[in-house]
């Protein structure tokens, strides 16, 4: 992560609209200046393919502008629209307040959400925000207006991690399934009785695309703490004593199996899965994500 950006990843900056907008702009411009990858979030780039007219072709598909330029008849075969609705969902449960080196999972989700929304705005896509826990539900309905991005950022900086994941069955009714949309979900995937996974499954339809960013800390993944500790579940308050020297190997194995099961489950559901570590640079995560987007669009 660039030194310039590291110096800005402080609560007094990230928790202000101007500060978060500045960080998002630096992330996006840093990515764009150092990469030749497509900056398109959506499922395709504008594209038209032509072929010569043949007897029997539908005359309504003739492109008269091409005829005016070339004095030949061409059929427009395909056109892929770029404008979609991007919906960002953030798991705002208490476990997202876990952090390493002063950066929490929720802060990381806020920066990535702000950066991706910045890109969506640049390509004239509508975008909205849904932040979910069992204490409150924050919603910024998708729009494309001059001041919409600032309202979007205001809700982001006001967001706190509290409570647990909401088990409300009515959550899926928040989403309009009639248009072309992309749903981007940030979470650490901690829940009880697979409620969160059931929610993710309910989001996927044949008409949309769902992307999950799974946020984890490096020490959280490896149990990288030396000594005997009492660990507390941030959502249930349950306590567990553990000697990390004895428990590290089986713990790491269980975590890796859980991640692999999660990845395969989403693959079967045709949901895109991205494991993101809190020490990963935002530019790298953005670049890898858009590289996948570009390959899908082909």
pLDDT tens digit string along 192-221?
Answer: 778 889 899 988 988 889 999 999 999 999
Contacts 24+ apart (CB under 8 A), 203-209: 203/89, 203/172, 203/175, 204/269, 204/270, 204/271, 205/177, 207/177, 207/179, 207/180, 207/181, 208/177, 208/180, 208/181, 208/182, 208/183, 209/43, 209/181, 209/182, 209/183, 209/272
Q: Token digits for 278?
A: 């809190």
The answer to whether residues 71 and 218 belong to one domain is no
The predicted structure's pLDDT at residue 87 = 94
3-state DSSP of 236-278: CCCEEEEEHHHHHHHHHHHHHHHHHHHHHHHHHCCCEEEEEEC
The answer to whether residues 130 and 229 belong to one domain is yes
The answer to whether residues 69 and 195 belong to one domain is no
The answer to whether residues 70 and 137 belong to one domain is no
Query: pLDDT in tens for each of the 298 residues of the chain?
Result: 666 687 888 889 999 999 999 999 999 988 777 654 455 666 544 445 667 767 766 666 677 777 777 777 767 665 545 578 999 999 999 999 999 988 999 999 999 999 999 999 988 899 999 999 988 888 999 988 879 999 999 999 999 999 998 766 556 666 666 567 899 999 999 987 788 898 999 889 888 899 999 999 999 999 887 777 777 777 777 888 877 788 889 999 999 999 999 999 999 999 999 999 999 999 999 988 988 776 665 5
The predicted structure's pLDDT at residue 46 = 45
The CATH number for 135's domain is 3.40.50.410
For residues 20, 25, 30, 36, the Cα torsion angle rounded to the nearest 10 degrees is 130
The predicted structure's pLDDT at residue 295 = 66
Is residue 274 in some structural domain?
yes
The answer to whether residues 59 and 111 belong to one domain is no
Nearest to 211 by CA among 107, 89, 295: 89
The answer to whether residues 17 and 127 belong to one domain is yes
The answer to whether residues 61 and 135 belong to one domain is no
The answer to whether residues 58 and 187 belong to one domain is no
- Distance separating alpha carbons of residues 279 and 6, to the nearest angstrom: 11
Output the average pLDDT for the chain. 84
The answer to whether residues 64 and 198 belong to one domain is no
The answer to whether residues 195 and 262 belong to one domain is yes
Q: How many domains does the chain have?
A: 2
- Which of 61, 79, 97 lies at the terminal end of a domain, its last residue? 79
Is residue 43 in some structural domain?
no
The answer to whether residues 63 and 171 belong to one domain is no
The predicted structure's pLDDT at residue 47 = 42
- Provide the whole-model pTM: 0.82
The answer to whether residues 63 and 207 belong to one domain is no
Is residue 171 in some structural domain?
yes
Is residue 137 in some structural domain?
yes
Instruction: For 245-279, write each residue's pLDDT tens digit.
Output: 888 899 999 999 999 999 999 999 999 999 999 99
Domain span at residue 59 reads 48-79
Is residue 284 in some structural domain?
yes
Is residue 247 in some structural domain?
yes
């Amino acid at each position: 992560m660039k030194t310039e950006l590291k110096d800005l990843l402080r609560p007094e900056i990230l928790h202000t609209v101007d500060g978060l907008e500045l960080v998002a702009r630096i992330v996006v411009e840093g990515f764009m200046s150092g990469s030749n990858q497509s900056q398109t979030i959506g499922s395709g780039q504008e594209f038209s393919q032509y072929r010569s007219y043949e007897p029997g072709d539908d005359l309504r598909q003739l492109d008269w502008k091409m005829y005016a330029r070339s004095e030949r008849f061409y059929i427009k075969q395909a056109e892929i629209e770029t404008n979609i609705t991007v919906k960002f969902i953030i798991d705002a449960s208490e476990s997202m307040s876990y952090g390493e080196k002063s950066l929490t999972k929720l802060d990381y989700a806020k920066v990535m959400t702000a950066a991706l929304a910045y890109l969506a705005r640049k390509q004239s896509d509508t975008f909205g925000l849904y932040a979910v826990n069992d204490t409150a539900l924050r919603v910024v309905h998708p729009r494309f207006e001059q001041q919409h991005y600032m309202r979007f950022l205001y809700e982001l900086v006001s967001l706190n991690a509290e409570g647990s994941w909401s088990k409300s069955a009515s959550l899926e009714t928040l989403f309009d399934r009639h248009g072309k949309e992309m749903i981007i979900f940030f979470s650490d995937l901690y829940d009880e009785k697979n409620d969160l996974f059931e929610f993710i499954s309910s989001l996927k339809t044949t008409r949309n695309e769902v992307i999950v960013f799974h946020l984890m800390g490096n020490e959280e993944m490896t149990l990288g703490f030396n000594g005997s500790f009492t660990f507390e579940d941030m959502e249930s308050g349950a306590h567990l004593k553990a000697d990390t020297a004895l428990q590290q190997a089986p713990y790491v194995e269980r975590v890796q199996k859980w991640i692999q099961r999660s990845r395969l489950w989403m693959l079967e559901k045709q949901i895109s899965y991205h494991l993101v570590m809190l020490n990963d640079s935002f530019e790298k995560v953005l670049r890898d994500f858009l590289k996948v987007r570009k390959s899908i669009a082909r």
